[in-house]
Amino acid sequence: MAWVTWRQHRSQLVATAGLLLALAAAAFGTRLPIHAAFHRDSLSACLPPAARSGCDIIVPHFEAEFAGWVTAARVLAVLPVLAGLFVGAPLLARELEQGTYRFAWTQGVTRRRWLLSKTALLAAAMLLAGAAASAVVMWWRGPFDTLEGRIGPSSFDVEGLVVPAYALYALALGVLAGLVFRRTVAAMTSTLVAFAATRFLVLEFVRPHFLTPLHRVVLATDTGLQPGDWVLSNTLVDGGGRQISAAREDLAVLHATQAGIDPHTYILTLGWKRLISYQPAGRFWTFQLIEAGLFVGLAALIVLVAVWLVRRTPT
Amino acid sequence: MTEPLDRAALLRLAAGAAVVGAIPDGVRKALTVDFPQPHPKWRFVFVNHALTNPFFVPTKDGSYDAAALLGTSVEWTGSTSSDVGEMVKAMRHAVATQADGIAVSIVDPQAFNGPTALALARGIPVVSYNADGGKGNTRLAYYGQDNYQSGLELGARLVRLVDRGDVYLFIATPRQQNIQPRIDGALDAIRDSGSPITAHVVASGVDVGRELTKIEATYKANRGLRGLFAVDAGSTAGVAAVMRKHGLHERGVKAGGYDLLPATLRAIHDRELDFTIDQQPYLQGFLPVLQLFLYRYSTGLVAPADTNTGLHFVTHANVSRYLTTKSRFEGSSSREQYPVG
């Protein structure tokens, strides 16, 4: 089966390897100036708790200098879904579309074993590719992660264990979609939609609650942000603990302005506070394990459904 | 009242000092700058809304001190009961008798616009002090507290003292432009805070005895109240008296207000009141005279400029300095004395 799998999917696997090489080359080429700037500005001395003076200027300057590259790196979050679109979706859809499944499924190997073997081999390849891409991104983002932490979505989604897990999940989705829709393009489209929807739902509604968020109450004029933490909510509350709407805040600022008082001082004297819910930076690997486990579990479930369905597909 | 030092007096002083080998720096400077040169003894008129209110004792002292320093004269006129008609009449009389400058507490949004325009048209500079509520009034400058600002700060402090419940805010004369903005500011701050505080505004009147009666009646009708606050000197003293009489501070009732009447300061010392707001009444008298003088002395080249006389919270932590210091600056003494004490 390994030989058959290689023969049928060698173009995708070669493309994957090529993509990885391109990613590594780009990372190597762009990391040098980032690394140089990080050390030139002694940014490691800006890490809490012993941040030196001037960091409030130096750090934003460093971040602004490479903001374009960091934004571009976020695009890498789409890499895992390529496994579903170009490897998973065609796996069954192309056989069914072209009718070659009749030949494939009437050989000595059972359908179940045929599907499981191919899926497992491709999954191993995608896991490997995902892990490699993740390692490259982590290496490249090192200076930024040092300053900003990595539990926030912009870095969490492209680093660590979740990248290969996403790839595995996308692959499984593609396989199932191919079996259900029997058309490659339809399978690719539905894979893309289902993958994006799952990622969105997990990010917005599940991940923030992997572990109970921590809460911090700070002065109303404090930003309340600590480098590295993932801030889930940042709410202004009055002395009674009720949330203050933007309109109420605007009105208070207007009153302070009319009175010639500094609005920040006025808000402080009113006893307003800022209530911050957050996931601390130290939970990064725990969250990675949980989310990777979740997507691997979903992938396994989808593959089981695909195996169950393929056995019932008439030849 | 101390007479101003003329040049001859300064020379005599310098000569005397030379005998003992020391010429004070201030005298040396005065001898070299020749200020002020001989000038007419200008007459500045203060039009006031509460002539007998003890709050204005240091204001008057400030005006007299500035007049003595600069060689001018000061007259105080107006009303004892915030009667705007009386005040307008007094101001028109000052214009008719060719006063050299007028300082008026503009306690009404419209009534002083006409007399101000008339005075300015006749070349008499007009400034406002203590109250500056004229809408479209063309006075040259204002010397006093920003009353809305002080009300807002009072409200913010009230919110920190009283976390919930009913509070009563006493105002001697609602809509009067020196104290209504304080109520407005306090109510805005209470609303901004979002605290479950219900504020009730009560007109206490200008008569001190009636103010006390009204405040006490308010307490007796609302024994569950959590705070008593006032935005004028008389009402604040009334609040202090009611707090003391009924031992309200021990029952958790919070209280505060304005100005530095002796009864108010004693109540703060005895923890019957939580705070009062000092708005520098002395400066409200001194600065108008100083700037009207400069206007006249420079033939209008030095135009009067607004001065916010500030906002200082007097609490138990800092009241002792007010109580132990007898001075013209806070109205606790009529004596000229340096250093004060």
The string of pLDDT tens digits covering residues B159-174 is: 989 989 999 999 998 9
**A contact residues 240-279, partner B, Cβ 8 Å cutoff:** 240, 242, 244, 248, 251-252, 255-256, 258-261, 266, 269-272
Please give the pLDDT value at position A140: 93
Q: What is the pLDDT of residues B292-334, one digit of tens each?
A: 999 999 999 999 999 999 889 999 999 998 888 888 887 778 8
CA dist A169 → A127, A145, A286, B30 (Å)? 10, 26, 19, 91
CATH topology of domain B36-145+280-310: Rossmann fold (3.40.50)
- Identify which of A240, A252, A260 has the shortest CB distance to residue B192: A252
Which region, left, alpha or beta, applies to residue B331 given φ > 0 means left and ψ of -120 to 50 means alpha?
left
What local confidence, expressed as pLDDT, does residue A51 receive?
A: 63
Q: Which helix (H) or strand (E) holds B128?
A: strand B126-132
Q: Average pLDDT, whole number, for chain B?
A: 89
CA distance B21 to chain A (A): 51
Instruction: Please state the rounded mean pLDDT for residues B124-153.
Output: 92
Asked if the model's pLDDT at residue B46 lies above 90, the reply is yes
The pLDDT-based confidence of B25 (bands split at 50, 70, 90) is: low
Write down the pLDDT at residue B86. 96
pLDDT of residue B123: 95
**Chain A contact present for B90, CB below 8 A:** no
> Which of A237, A244, A254 minimizes the C-alpha distance to B185?
A254
Q: What is the mean pLDDT of chain A?
A: 88
Which residue type is seen at B201? V
More confident residue, B178 or A164: A164
- pTM for the predicted model, two decimal places: 0.68
Please choose, from the candidates B243, B295, B286, the residue with its C-alpha nearest in 3D space to the C-alpha of residue B119: B295
**CA A107/CA A90 separation, integer angstroms:** 20
Does the CA dihedral A285-A287-A288-A289 come out positive or negative? positive
A266, B185: Cβ pair inside 8 Å?
no
Q: Mean pLDDT lowest for which of B29-33, B47-51, B138-142? A: B29-33
Q: What confidence score (pLDDT) does residue A224 get? A: 61
Low-confidence ranges of chain A (pLDDT < 70): 48-51, 223-225, 315
Q: Phi then psi for A64, rounded to 5 degrees?
A: -70, -35
What's the CA gap between A120 and A113, in Å, rounded?
10
Spatial separation of the C-alpha atoms in residues B177 and A166, rounded to whole Å: 69
Residues of chain B with CATH 3.40.50.2300: 36-145+280-310, 147-278
Cα angle B89-B94-B97, degrees, rounded to a multiple of 5:
120
What does the DSSP 8-state code read for residue A87? I
- What does the domain layout of chain A look like in residue ranges? 2-211+282-311, 230-279
For A170, list phi and psi in degrees, rounded to 5. Answer: -65, -40
Question: At CA A235, angle to CA A233 and CA A239, rounded to 5?
Answer: 145
3-state secondary structure string across A168-214: HHHHHHHHHHHHHHCCHHHHHHHHHHHHHHHHHHHHHHHHHHCCCCE
Q: What is the pLDDT of residue B8?
A: 46
Is residue A275 a contact partner of residue A146, using CB atoms and an 8 Å limit? no
- Among the partner-chain residues A256, A259, A270, the one whose CB lies closest to the CB of B193 is A270
With a CB-CB cutoff of 8 Å, which residues 167-206 of chain B face chain A? 185, 188-189, 192-196
Residue range B125-148: average pLDDT?
92
Residue B24 has pLDDT above 60, yes or no: no
With a cut of 90, say whether residue B201 has pLDDT above it. yes
Question: For B258, phi and psi rounded to 5 degrees?
Answer: -130, 150
What is the arithmetic mean of pLDDT over B220-232?
96
- Rounded Cα gap, residues B140 and A199, in angstroms: 67
Residues of A in contact with B188 (CB under 8 A): 255
Q: How confident is the model at residue B3 (pLDDT cuts 50, 70, 90)?
A: very low
Distance from CA of A254 to the nearest CA of B (A): 10
Q: Phi and psi dihedrals of B44, rounded to 5? A: -110, 135
Lowest-pLDDT range of A170-174, B18-22, B136-140, B289-293 = B18-22
| Chain centroid offset of residue B22 CA | 39
Contact (CB, 8 A) for B92 and B98:
no
Q: How far is CA B258 from CA A144, A239, B144, B232, B320, in A?
A: 55, 25, 14, 5, 17
CB B245 within 8 A of CB B316: no
Distances (CA, A) of A45 to A40, A51, A58, A142, A223: 11, 6, 11, 15, 21
Q: Please give the residue that has the higher pLDDT: either B163 or B114.
A: B114
Closest CA to B309 of B338, B327, B287, B331: B287
The average pLDDT across B35-45 equals: 95
Range B173-181 average pLDDT? 88
pLDDT tens per residue across span A156-194: 999 999 999 999 999 999 999 999 999 999 999 999 999
Q: What is the pLDDT of residue B16?
A: 44
CATH superfamily of B147-278: Response regulator (3.40.50.2300)
Please judge whether B156 and A269 are an interchain contact, meaning their C-beta atoms are less than 8 angstroms apart.
yes
CB of A97 closer than 8 Å to CB of A182: yes
E strand intervals along chain A:
214-219, 230-237, 273-279
Q: How far apart are CA A246 and CA A220, in angstroms?
A: 14
